Amino acid sequence: MDTQVNVTYIIIDGYVDIDEYRYLYFVIMFTAYILILCSNSTVVYLIWIHPNLHEPMYIFIAALLINSVVYSTVFYPKLLIDFLSDKQIITYSACVFQWFIFYSLVSSEFLLLAAMSYDRYVSICKPLQYPTIMRKNTVIMFLVLAWLVPVCQVAVPIVQNANKKLCKFIFKGIICSSTVYKLHCVESRTLNIYGLIVFVNLVLLPVLFILFTYTRIFIITYRSCREVRRKAAQTCLPHLIVLINFSCLTTYDVLLLRLEIDFPKTVRFIMSLQLLVYHPLFNPIIYGLKMKEIYKHLKRLFKM
């Protein structure tokens, strides 16, 4: 449905019993948004102000948490407005923008986790070469690539789909993702193939690299003394927990589009909330409590 200024609107049909629970949803999500901003920003602030945290591993952690803040700031204001609105609608251009941010940040997260796994591999398996390999310029290069590569690769289908004709105007979800494809009159096989290539480049290859590096770490540390095994477990376990959690949530999105599984509306709503609430809150909790140096500074900050 188009207005006189040719702005295409999409009806968001992903909320469950919004008329009955709109104020409850609003309070819960507003509270979650404040907690996400505060928890992620606190850990980033600690990493910034304490010189002993100016190491590659902590810098990559800060980058992950900044991603969570940006991700939440893009999606939460629109959600909060929807909860208080009689009609849940979004312009197609805004939907495409959400789509772009969603996949850029998701892909960036996998690349950052891959950079962190490489950092841990060099630190534990090649400690004498660590200062030479993980120099400041190397860390900066990893950060730039982790943010820039996804933006460039995700931008291609976004630009191609920006002016696509729509034949459906009801979106089954609460945040716009690649399932927007289903609203188009004609699906592009070329873009579908390109999407699979991007998935391999930005998700599958980083995950395989992460699994390879951690396998190498565990093989080497298994043959080492107990102190080395303890150090490896202390620094690697939080990264693996975050990877497993994030991979499970991403798998849902892939299944939703590629296998065209028609999940019940309630399941879609719960899984979308997982992406919006659970993961952005999960990262600072895991890294804040499980990373010894960060936890020490948190205790001092709150005088625990």
What would the pLDDT profile of 159-190 be if each residue is shown by its tens digit? Answer: 888 778 888 888 888 888 777 877 888 777 78
Is 2 part of any domain? no
| Each residue's pLDDT tens digit, 103-116 | 899 899 999 999 99
Tell me, yes or no, whether 4 lies in a domain. no
Q: Which domain holds residue 287?
A: 9-302
Give the pLDDT score at 253. 67
In a domain, 29, yes or no: yes
% of the chain beyond a pLDDT of 70: 93
SS3 content of the chain, % helix, strand, coil (to 5): 80, 5, 15
* 73-87, 92-106, 211-225: least confidently modelled range: 211-225
| Domain assignment of residue 66, yes or no | yes
pLDDT higher than threshold 50 for residue 1: no
Instruction: Assess contact for 166 and 90: CB atoms under 8 A.
Output: no
Question: How many Å apart are CA 86 and CA 81, to the nearest integer?
Answer: 10
Q: Is residue 237 part of a domain?
A: yes
- Residue 128's domain is classified under what CATH number? 1.20.1070.10
Residue 178 lies in a domain: yes
The answer to the question of residue 64 being in a domain is: yes
Please check whether residue 1 lies inside any domain of the structure: no
User: What total number of domains does the chain contain?
Assistant: 1
Closest Cα to residue 178, out of 98, 246, 108, 79? 98
Q: What are 184's strand-pairing partners?
A: 166
